[in-house]
Amino acid sequence: MDSFDLGRLTDHDFELVCRDLFGELLGVPLELFPRGRDRGIDLRHTDAAGASTVVQCKHWQRGDQNGLIRRLVREELPKVAQLKPDRYVVATTVGLTVDGKERLRDAFDPFIRSTGDGYGGRQ
């Protein structure tokens, strides 16, 4: 199978791809919001009982795992703690190692349920 260069996408295009992909993976329709201050919500699904899943999309063309995790913890974790979603998923173009996924899960506990809720790009 041919690989696709995610670096060719804009931030918004990456969110569109993530909406379609994660909608299929999670089996739910995901809301996508216009560009601008998003309170830490790039994509969201809220069910009839009020349970919410938030997908954060980080498109970094030249980013590295350590910088991404530091930035997520510094900038996104306070927003997530305030939102209190039932599930928080991170999708990024940055490659994530096993250790990186564990660091994300531990930092965002209980919102990131497992290391499987961190999706990184290939390097």
Q: What is the pLDDT of residue 123?
A: 47
Distance between CA atoms of residues 123 and 90, nearest Å: 17
1 in a domain, yes or no? no
Q: What is the pLDDT of residue 7?
A: 67
42 in a domain, yes or no? yes
38 in a domain, yes or no? yes
Give the range of the structural domain holding residue 44, as residue numbers without chain letter.
6-119
Tell me the backbone φ, ψ of residue 89, rounded to 5 degrees. -120, 135
**Does the pLDDT at position 28 exceed 90?**
yes
Distance between CA atoms of residues 48 and 27, nearest Å: 15
Task: Note if the pTM is more than 0.85.
Answer: yes
Q: What is the pLDDT of residue 33?
A: 83
**Does the pLDDT at position 3 exceed 80?**
no
What's the domain count of the chain?
Answer: 1
- The domain spanning residue 36 has which CATH number? 3.40.1350
Q: What digits encode the pLDDT tens for the residues 53-108?
A: 999 999 887 789 999 999 999 999 999 999 999 999 999 999 999 999 999 999 99
